[in-house]
A and B are shown apart, each in its own frame.
Chain A
Amino acid sequence: MNLPGRDSRRRLHGMVRKEWLQILRDPSSIAIAFVLPVVLLFLFGYGVSLDAKDIRLGLVIEHMDDQSRDLAGAFVRSRFFQPHYYRDIQPAQQALTERRLDGIIWLRNNFSRRLQQPGPAPIGVLVNGIDANQARITGGYIQGVWFGWLEKYARAQGHKLDAPVQLEQRVWFNPAVNSRYFLVPGLIAIIMTLIGSLLTSMVIAREWERGTMEAMMATPLRIPEVLAGKLIPYFVLGMFGMLLTVALALWLFQVPLHGSFATLFLASALFMLVALAMGLLISIVAKNQFVAGQIAIIVTFLPAFILSGFIFDIGSMPAPIQVITYLVPARYFVAIAQTLFLAGDIWPVILPNLGAMALMLLIFMAIIRRKANKRIA
């Protein structure tokens, strides 16, 4: 009775061995699994940052006196700005046009007089709005300096500036507001999507193209055995790549891991399976490597980059686009990774996302089985 089972194990073993040899012979798979994640995390970890630094700020002061010097000094002292002084607005505007400046503060020659008069004195602020996000961040920093100066000015006048509502803000999970802390966990998700689907997307398409798929069908191997035989070696490779990126995130980029390593490992293993299954599905549907390669690039990298919540907020997208994001596996892993790294094992966030990934894996496997069976008939 247990003979078929043993046979199956033997066949699977043979299949895994064949794939393993194929991987070892073609160094590109090894490169995908080990070199690629490290290179990518290095590049991204250092290259992707939303924290503006050294904003080149033009300070146009038409008439230098105590008040304007005081306000300008507040901008010079801020660690966000790299100030450049101007006497007139024209050269500063020219510099903004030529992108030698990121923003301009403009104090007209009647600024001090207007301060004494009733009604607020205007402080001109010009920013280049082309990169809207950076412009907004710059505007926020300028607002912060302005507010600090207002308080100081009020004190100097002998009264306290009582903004009626005193906002006490706390940014949880990332009090230093370091964008790298949330970008690096998201990058792990993107890198793993790429690696998982790249590893497998071409392997079955290649067998079809070379005609070795028919040869394999003539053997006693059953379809699930072929699939498992393809998945297992690549899973092992992919998980090593995963461990490498997590290690880099922790020790090189110093991202704190508040959750447990076991949960992270479990979630990554599940996600790796989803990514591999996606690649396998692509390679079964495509049947040739050109199409498989195209599809892999189209459905993996850019959707994982743009629609996963890694950098753009999903809740702010229009409803139909939000529906599409549910089809992007990286979405679930990004949510888990950001929560695990920065907040901890918060099960109400982690469980639904784990469940979604498991469901996705089941659906992928079911489609793969059907597609693969059809081919044989």
Chain B
Amino acid sequence: MNALLQLLALIRKEFLALLRDPRSRFVLIGPPIIQLLVFGYGATFDLNDVPVAVYNPDRGALSRQLLARVEGSPAFHLIGEVESEGHLRRLVDERKAMLALSFRSDFSRNLEQGRSAPLQAILDGRNSNSALIALGYLRNILIEFDQEVAARHNGPPLPAVLKVRAWHNANLASRWFIVPGIVGLLLLVVTLVVTALSIAREREAGTFDQLLVTPLNPWQILVGKSVPGLLIGLLEATFIIAVAVLWFEVPLRGSLGALYFGLLLFLLSIVGVGLMISAISVTQQQALLGAFLFLIPAVILSGFATPIANMPEVVQWLSYLDPLRYALVIVRSVFLEGADASLLLHQYWPMALIGGISLLAADWLARHRMY
């Protein structure tokens, strides 16, 4: 009973230390909200209004019809027609156009007489991923256009066509992929910084020694330092999930229990890593550096923006150490696939393991690293 009261007092003190200063309070609450909105809208692989420049010396109707389709697609935006191919090239060079279409003067005549007509497309490969996506959109427009032209001029129809269906995300909206990912990303950032600086701050202020000579045993100290991070993390998680569902309208198809159980384990693993960093560091600057050194690879290797499957084998092994990797699978599966706890077992236990080991390590380090 006494131990519990002591623990509660310590937790209370930790909360006070975190929330006393209005500026520290603000950095815990304001930025996650702003970031969620800004990144939720900003981070998308879908292309809108790709600037397209056109050189079209063809006087016929068919090139006009094709251009009308390009303009009609929300992905493209015609920035204008130019008088020469040289001008077209310059627009791509200067990044004013991502796609440049160059027709020949006999484009319409060839098509009308049942011959094929070349169409040149130049793409800015400085972001080759966007270039490939834009090319995909253009090809889809052309396939439809081709079939119509063929039908009108009695050409042979295509013998076989692809009927593509995308599971869980029929329109392939990349926001549905990114926004659940931001849940994991922001939780990682907030919780890690809160816990990573907690012991280091006391060390630098000299109060950690005082804490050690109180009747609290090291485990109580560790638990007292973990609880604020966990609680703040859970509250923010709830808020972010609500915004994802209500504001961004990402479907939440699975069980909330499975989601929260996963997030709890995720937070536990971050708290463990954070306290471990904090226990090693002597100054807050070192703790912050440590947090950064963990945070950045954790984001990059998690599969947040680029798939883990594309990484070399060795880097993929490394990503097994990354708690965010598992959290992202859980969040995305529960949101989009409607997964329940039984499907996510293989994501749960590695995080529990990372959390357990890092907490043990933090305990050992906090006791053995005395100055």
Contacts and interface: CB of A to CB of B under 8 A. Distances in A.
A188 B368 CA distance: 38
B160 interface: yes
Nearest to A172: B125
A165 B44 contact: no
Given A164-B111, A324-B38, A122 B160 contact: yes
Contacts of A179: 128-129
B61 interface: no
A28 B167 CA distance: 48
Interface stretch (B2-10, B47-55, B216-224, B236-244): B47-55
Contact of B163 (A125, A307, A343): A125
B284 A290 contact: yes
Interface residues of B, number: 114
B120 interface: yes
Contacts of B123: 169-172
A315 B49 contact: yes
A128 B38 contact: no
A182 B299 contact: no
A125 B164 contact: yes
A302 B185 contact: yes
B38 A153 contact: no
A132 B111 contact: no
Given A96-B167, A163-B146, A181-B128, A346 B288 contact: no
Nearest to B306: A48
Nearest to A106: B163
Contacts of B166: 126-129, 132, 135
Contacts of B173: 132
A177 B125 contact: yes
A228 interface: no
Interface stretch (A49-57, A219-227, A230-238): A49-57
B341 interface: no
A220 to B, nearest CB: 28
A130 B337 contact: yes
Contact of A162 (B50, B115, B197, B315): B115
Interface in B110-145: 111, 114-133, 135-136, 138-139, 142, 145
A169 B288 CA distance: 48
A161 B132 CA distance: 24
A136 B133 CA distance: 8
B162 A123 contact: yes
A128 to B, nearest CB: 5
A318 interface: yes
A297 B185 contact: no
Given A136-B136, A316-B46, A290 B197 contact: yes
B315 A136 contact: no
Contacts of B115: 162
Contact of A127 (B139, B164, B287, B312): B164
Among B94, B153, B170, the one with the most A-chain Cβ atoms within 10 Å of its Cβ is B94
A168 B172 contact: no
B321 interface: no
Which of under 10, 10 to 19, 20 to 34, or 35 or more describes the interface residues of A?
35 or more
A325 B42 contact: yes
Name the prevailing secondary structure of the A interface residues.
Answer: helix
Interface string A40-51: 100110111111
Interface in A70-91: 71
Name the prevailing secondary structure of the B interface residues.
Answer: helix
A177 B166 CA distance: 25
B293 interface: yes
Contacts of B122: 169-170, 172
Nearest to B304: A305
Nearest to B156: A159
Given A135-B172, A172-B124, A291-B23, A316 B48 contact: yes
A105 B130 CA distance: 26
A4 interface: no
Interface string B329-341: 0001100110000
Nearest to B189: A297
Contacts of B24: 288, 290-291, 294
27 contacts: A28-B285, A31-B289, A49-B310, A50-B310, A120-B160, A121-B159, A125-B163, A127-B166, A128-B166, A136-B136, A146-B162, A150-B158, A153-B160, A161-B156, A164-B150, A165-B119, A165-B146, A167-B119, A167-B121, A168-B120, A170-B122, A171-B123, A174-B128, A182-B128, A290-B201, A293-B288, A297-B292
Interface of B: 21, 23-24, 27-28, 31, 35, 38-39, 41-51, 66, 92-95, 98, 111, 114-133, 135-136, 138-139, 142, 145-146, 149-150, 153, 155-170, 172-174, 176-177, 185, 189, 193, 197, 201, 283-289, 291-293, 295-297, 299-301, 305-307, 309-312, 314-315, 318-319, 332-333, 336-337
Interface of A: 26, 28, 31-32, 36, 39-40, 43-44, 46-54, 71, 96-97, 102, 111, 114-115, 118-137, 139-140, 142-143, 146, 150, 153-154, 159, 161-175, 177-179, 181-182, 194, 198, 202, 206, 286, 288-291, 293-298, 301-302, 305-307, 309, 311-313, 315-318, 320-321, 324-325, 335, 338-339, 342-343, 346, 348-349
